[in-house]
Amino acid sequence: MPIVILKVLIQIIVGNFSLKKGFMKTYEQVKKQLKNHQYTWLITGIAGFIGSNLMEALLSLNQKVMGLDNFATGYQYNIDDVLTSIDSKFKKNFTFYEGDIRSMDDCKKAVKGVDYVLHQAALGSVPRSIKTPELTHEVNVTGFLNMLIASRDAKVKRFVYASSSSVYGDSPKLPKVESDIGNPLSPYAVTKYTNELYAHVFDSCYGAEAIGLRYFNVFGKRQDPKGAYAAVIPLWFSALLKEAPVYINGDGETSRDFCYIDNVVFANLLAALTTNQQAIHQVYNIACGEKTTLNKLFAIIRKTLNLPDSIQPQYRDFRAGDVRHSLANIHKAKELLQYSPLYYIKEGLNIAKDWYVRFLDPLL
């Protein structure tokens, strides 16, 4: 290899390492701030995958956490798992309300006395939204509006909500930039874009501080492997651990920007606590800025589990409503929120592997 190219590669590697080290330092500063000041947080959808990870992070930092869930897609064992994994002295800081965001009374009860709302409750899944668009609308739009109104009336400091990369729809442009979206391809995508519009209107009409996070294919511990709408990574881990077939929809060259759960937790805390006025009333891509095809993902998971190359996936038809390629531009989040991924896909899968191995089979 020519010496000039080698020097450039070394500079890139060192530069990336220094950048990641810098954002790790930012994360440590955020955690230090929370350890020194106790706030009250409401997490909707707390019994779900992302909600329970936010719950664990905040309780571990001695924060007061209120949780709201109706267990439509979340599980009591996610909450129980958090409470058994944290220091017992923090458990007193947790309060749970079993309720539904479609009920304004439930929303008002849960948000009382809250400083920050992390709104994660939703009915996910493109296929489910195509099958039941009315239910998806009730939860994702009516429920979202209820939470916005309740948060406004309770004068919460900030409302941070989960949006989705699905809002980019049929836009062929890569990587995805927040200001440039296409036509939605599913009722689920419509609901998430509607959330962003409502958040913008509540800013202009009521001065409500809201920040939207467009998640790109989040994965990690407590992600549900069960059911027809299970996410691809826990589904494949589960299948490979059981020596069952792994199915890929299409030719396997469909690509995604997979994002480890700790990156999402980091982004939520940054969005809630930022003092940068330019960062508020915005929506951000939360991802790694790294494209991975389904074929490559399968190979990485297979290697992570130390399985032989002879194990191959089975291919079937493309799924209606699915986006062919998804890749995020995360420059805006880096510049305004000081966000950057703490872990990329291989690192995230290595960290998550132990949880998948220990917990997937008992949950099936």
Nearest CA among 232, 264, 237 for reference residue 343:
264
**Mean pLDDT across 317-340:** 90
Write the secondary structure of 168-198 as one string of H (helix), E (strand) and C (coil). Answer: HCCCCCCCECCCCCCCCCCHHHHHHHHHHHH
User: Over the stretch 192-231, which tens digit does the pLDDT of each residue have?
Assistant: 999 999 999 999 999 999 999 999 999 999 988 776 656 8
pLDDT greater than 60 at residue 11:
no
Mean predicted confidence (pLDDT) in 141-158: 98
Average pLDDT over residues 118-130: 92
Q: Please, which residues have CB within 8 angstroms of residue 304's CB and are 6 or more apart in sequence?
A: 346, 349, 350, 353
Please state which of the ranges 3-7, 107-111, 175-179 shows the lowest mean pLDDT.
Answer: 3-7
Structure confidence at residue 29 (pLDDT): 84
Q: Which of 116, 168, 188, 356 is catalytic?
A: 188
pTM of the prediction? 0.89
Q: Domains in the chain and their CATH numbers?
A: 38-218+260-289+328-342 (3.40.50.720)
Q: What confidence score (pLDDT) does residue 12 get? A: 43
pLDDT of residue 360: 65
Q: Is 188 a catalytic residue?
A: yes
**Among 4-13, 27-36, 161-170, 208-217, which stretch is predicted with the lowest mean pLDDT?**
4-13
Distance separating alpha carbons of residues 50 and 47, to the nearest angstrom = 8
How far is Cα 201 from Cα 192, in angstroms, rounded to an integer? 15
Pairing of strands 255-256, 292-293: antiparallel
Q: pLDDT higher for 28 or 305?
A: 305
User: Per residue in 246-293, pLDDT tens?
Assistant: 999 999 999 999 999 999 999 999 999 999 999 999 999 999 999 999
Task: Count Cβ atoms below 10 Å from residue 145 Cβ, excluding itself.
Answer: 18
**Mean pLDDT lowest for which of 143-157, 191-205, 221-235, 327-341?**
221-235
Alpha carbon distance 6, 4 (integer Å): 5
Span between the terminal Cα atoms of the chain, in Å: 50
pLDDT value, residue 355: 87
pLDDT band at residue 24, thresholds of 50, 70 and 90?
low
The residue with tokens 């032989």 is 308
